[in-house]
Structure 1
Amino acid sequence: MGKLAESRYACRMCGRFVQSITWRELHELLAGLTGAPVELKPRYNLAPGQDATVIRAGAEGFQLDLLHWGLIPPWARDPAIAFKLINARVETAAEKPSFRNSWRARRCLIPANGYYEWTSVGGIRQPWLIRRRDEAPLFLAGLWENWRITEPASLHGRFAGRQVGEQVETFTILTTAANEDVEAINHRMPVLLHPHQFESWLTDAPAVPAAEQPGQLTTQTVDVRVNDPRNDDPDCLLPSLSLL
């Protein structure tokens, strides 16, 4: 693996992802998806603090909702905590004060067409796109939470235009130890679920999902324009030569 084996992880997992899946594709994969067809905005470089489509259990089946990425616990006074809680370790989520209530009762799925990781050598940050070898969508296990805006000082940035007293729904992505497909890039990876696991994850008593079997994921270096979240277009997915 050369320099890659010696590189330092340059970004905590999982810090960006691709969400270009369509409603029709989701409907084909989720037999219990309810609601009328909607046009989902394709995202090619989705970053913390932005809205993402998540799947939750509804009264009559699975439902799609837009939630803020970065979980804010109900007891938090400062919403900036969200940027520290974009990920949750699956090994400890059931005990951590920030996540334990969500673990018990508020679980979700995040559909993704891939996610990004970074390696770094000599100050150079190289982005990598990680996705399934067959290019089918990934389904990331997540937790969600309700947070009520209580301070006028919170009404800026991601919450500009909202009102004191309004409820905000946020989510985090669960991570686990990386398998051999991605361990050279990062020691963590998202918890990935498959269709036969969806209903039990969303509705049953929680259990730690089994690790993803190796051989399913592929990695590819992409252009450094991915480093800037303002770049959010299909060109983010184009392969490039590694800088390392």
Structure 2
Amino acid sequence: MCGRYTLLGDQLELLDEFALEQPIDDFHESYNVAPGQQVLAIIHDGKRKRAGYLRWGLVPSWADDPKIGYKMINARSETAHVKPSFKQLMAKRRCLIIADSFYEWKQTDKEKIPQRIQVENRKFFAFAGLWDKWTQGDETLFTCTILTKDSHGFMKDIHHRMPIILPKHAEDEWVQPVQFAPSQVSELLKQFEDPTLTAYPVSTYVNSAKNNDQQCIASLA
């Protein structure tokens, strides 16, 4: 799964990295991005890529209660193409969710130790995400979820699930405004190679979403 991550860096670097033409309104860094918060994402509006904020925790357009979003921060890529909540989003509402690292908790004999995980030789990267628009009365929400898969190699020693991190060359393809069959998108995800990852242990200080400062990423090693 993916339940916490970071986004640290300069907006100008982000604009350059993802070839964005417009500045990002209300851009802010975070040492501890958590479910329920507004997260930076990129979509394609049919004319160009646009960056903005979506609430993390998908609320399907047909949902009665927006609280369902707290149960839908992740979507299993292996089954998303057949699930009512995700299959139409796989077809036409794909997004990039931007990060520079993510946290996962490694189980030892005595405790769970949080690890900060980064992509080698890349400052920023994008999780494969899905988004939706929910409206009820005067309330409108734009929300998202991160696609996950079984862990392989490096990540398998830390946790049995991991977020899907898109290769750089696949980012534009993922958000292009073209409708595909959900099964096609599922097969596309299987073709992407995992990036080379690195990790180091951090303090359980990061366990609380209320903590959001440099201490979250301070190495214990």
Matched, 1:178 2:165: no
Gaps of 5+ in 2: none
Partner of 1:152: none
Larger radius of gyration: 1
Higher mean C-alpha deviation, range 186-195 or range 40-49:
186-195
After TM superposition, give the deviation of residue 38 of structure 1 in Å: 4.7
Give the TM-score, by structure 2 length.
0.89
CA distance in 2, matches of 1:123, 1:71: 34
Partner of 2:194: 213
Partner of 1:191: 164
- Between Structure 1 and Structure 2, the one with more helix by share is 2
After TM superposition, give the deviation of residue 135 of structure 1 in Å: 4.7
Identity over aligned pairs, percent: 36
After TM superposition, give the deviation of residue 120 of structure 1 in Å: 3.2
Partner of 1:5: none
Show CA shifts across 1:112-131 (max 9, x none).
01000112346633111111
Partner of 2:210: 230
Partner of 2:219: 239
Partner of 1:15: 3
Gaps of 5+ in 1: 1-12, 150-163
- Identify which of 200, 207, 226 aligns with 2:173: 200
Show CA shifts across 1:175-221 (max 9, x none).
1121211111111111111232122111143523234336x101111
Query: Structure 2 counterpart of 1:231, which letter?
Result: N
CA distance in 1, matches of 2:149, 2:24: 33
Contact 2:165-2:194 at 8 Å conserved across structures? no
Give the TM-score, by structure 1 length.
0.81
Task: Provide the alpha-carbon RMSD of the alignment.
Answer: 1.8
Change (3 A) 1:135 1:221: farther
SS at match of 2:52: strand
Change (3 A) 1:57 1:231: same
Query: Structure 1 counterpart of 2:216, which letter?
Result: C
SS at match of 1:182: helix
